[in-house]
Chain A
Amino acid sequence: MITNYVIEPHWANWILTLEMFAAGLAAGIFFFIALANIAGDKEDREVAARLGFLPAPLMVVVAVLLIVDLGQPGRFLNLLFTSPIAAERPGPFMFNPNSPMNWGTWIIAVFGIMTVVPFFDGLLHTGRLRILPGLVETLAHNPVGMAVAALFALATGSYSGVLLNVSNQNVWADTYILGGLYVVFSALSGFAAAAIVSDRMRATRTAGAARSGLLATAALAGVLVALFVANLSALGQAEPLISSGTALVAPVFWIGVVGLAILYPIVTIAAGPRLAFSRVSLSQLAVVGTIVLVGVLAFRWSLLHSALAAVAH
């Protein structure tokens, strides 16, 4: 009988899976945009401007999914501002440093506002709308500003992993790798999206950077997943990832996460033709990107459902 853990079945659902996927993707894409603006060339910035259309709508999707999940949009303000009813808490702003959900609320709020900059930069670059062009240009291409924005993007990618760690649920509670895993899978989805958009724009040079980023991030994800499984095995809690019965967590984890998100890009990119200039296979990279996105979705789903699978076991 498992008595040191509790069961919270309400977290294992598709709404939260998609919410975490969308937030991670927005953060990963923003991370790529920041890199392109800090270290890229003209073509990279063109691709970054197109990618800039994605984070803001994705964050709107995140907000809508959260509202659907909680069903109480008005009360979201209680996460940011201290309710007059909660008179025990000091100050007008709600901040509980022990709660990763509160950290996440503030991080997401700031990041959500930041996503407006690349969105307007995209409008500017495509000539669709010119709102304060000087300001948008400065904000979107200033390396220091972009570095700060990249930090918020990475924090957005990681906080939900830390949030799951700070619980008393099976699988999540006794490891401390989830924050790292979540930020790496978030970046992986960003590079995957960049690979797809580079293909659409026939931007071969940017595709080279997306390819290198995909390879390095998939390798890093592989290291962290190995550490995660080893850590859980040492704790005697790896069972749901090995055979989770009807919960399907184990096959989704090994095929989706390990197979599609990690091994497939490593093998395809390392063994495939070099994506540089005349030897580019852009469409192949776009396929890799699409499959990696499916793998990242599998990651979100299997991690959320693993705690429940441990109980069902």
Chain B
Amino acid sequence: MATATKGMFVDTTLCTGCKACQVACKQWNELPMDDETAVREHRAFTANSYDNTGHLSASNWRHVKFVEQFSEDRVDARWLMMSDSCKHCEQAGCLEVCPTGALYRTQHGSVDIHQDVCIGCRYCVGACPFGVIDYNQRTGRVNKCILCQDRLEDSQGTACAKACPTSSLTFGNVDDLKAMAAERVRALHARGQTDAYIYGWDLGNRGTITQGPNKGAAVADMEVVGGLNVFYLLLDKPEVYSLPSSPQLPQRNMNPSAGVALISAAVLGVTGLAAFRRRRMEAVAASSEVSS
């Protein structure tokens, strides 16, 4: 039975980069290390601030991003942190293209994977606009955050949100979370933090970036791919957080591409038949040459 759509509101202004969410995710979902040997041999250092996984992957379903920004004279600095995961998109590119039904929408509105149905074709990997879902070399299938489906079935929230000590991650009904986010942006704007806006839904907020290389640029709430059930409060342009500025559904070119293929096939059919017909006409011409 379908219930109210569940999701998470990620308020990046509250994130301290403690990575409790990353650890909780690993622990609850029993996710292995990407490269244990590299860690043992001290080769796993990303050299990118305190980032230790670099990106989301089949075994890192949550990733805390660190963005360090300095003014040219290096007097002013700010540190942006964001805990990232699958967005459980309202229109999920991964789910749209899956040819086996392995990816599916749960009764909670999240996007989950039937591991026993997945054939490891990786089509979803190239289709997700956010580069979230990943191929698992160990299993030959794909993995990503599944919004703790097992916990949700037991009426619990997600493990990451439960572990977050600052409420940067809040789990709940998406409608309630949207109201909470709108309230939070209003409060930040009132305090002079006019760069706060929402990535995922358009709740009507507009602002100006106050710090960093994009200082002075306008920002506004963005509804993307029909809305994100895991959505973000950001303080700078999406690209700064390695989020796409204009994520698109993969099917946008399906009909035009099929149309060009059809036209090309029609031209091929006509020219192919003409190739045989022309040859026949040449034969007639040659035989009349011989007889004359």
B-binding residues in A (CB < 8 A): 1, 3-8, 10-11, 31-32, 35-36, 38-41, 44, 70-72, 75-76, 78-79, 82-83, 85-86, 88-89, 94, 96, 98-102, 105, 150-151, 154-155, 157-158, 161-163, 165-169, 173-184, 187, 205, 208-210, 212-213, 216-217, 220, 224, 276-277, 307
Contact = CB atoms under 8 A, between A and B. Distances in A.
A32 B269 CA distance: 10
Contact of A99 (B96, B128, B265, B280): B96
Contacts of A44: 276
Given A167-B127, A176-B256, A70 B120 contact: yes
Contacts of B276: 35-36, 39-40, 44, 209
30 contacts: A3-B242, A6-B130, A35-B275, A70-B121, A72-B119, A72-B120, A78-B101, A78-B102, A79-B100, A82-B101, A85-B114, A86-B101, A94-B101, A96-B96, A96-B97, A96-B99, A99-B98, A167-B127, A168-B247, A169-B126, A176-B259, A179-B258, A183-B261, A183-B265, A184-B264, A208-B282, A209-B278, A216-B272, A220-B268, A277-B282
A82 B104 CA distance: 13
Given A3-B238, A4-B244, A166-B257, A86 B119 contact: no
B264 A224 contact: yes
Consensus secondary structure, chain A interface:
helix
A40 B61 CA distance: 59
Contacts of B257: 161-162, 165-166, 176-180
A155 B265 CA distance: 8
B254 A166 contact: yes
A167 B131 CA distance: 11
Contact of A158 (B256, B265, B275, B286): B265
Nearest to B105: A88
A83 B120 contact: no
Contacts of A11: 122, 126
Interface string B105-137: 100000000101111111101111111000100
B126 A98 contact: no
A99 B283 CA distance: 47
A276 B265 contact: no
B101 A168 contact: no
Contact of B245 (A3, A71, A162, A173): A3
Contacts of B269: 150, 154
Given A8-B125, A89-B101, A94-B99, 4 more contacts: A3-B238, A10-B125, A39-B273, A175-B253
What 6 pairs between A and B have smallest CB-CB spacing?
A179-B261, A86-B101, A6-B131, A212-B275, A180-B264, A176-B256
A174 B117 contact: no
Given A4-B246, A76-B119, A154-B265, A162 B101 contact: no
B221 to A, nearest CB: 18
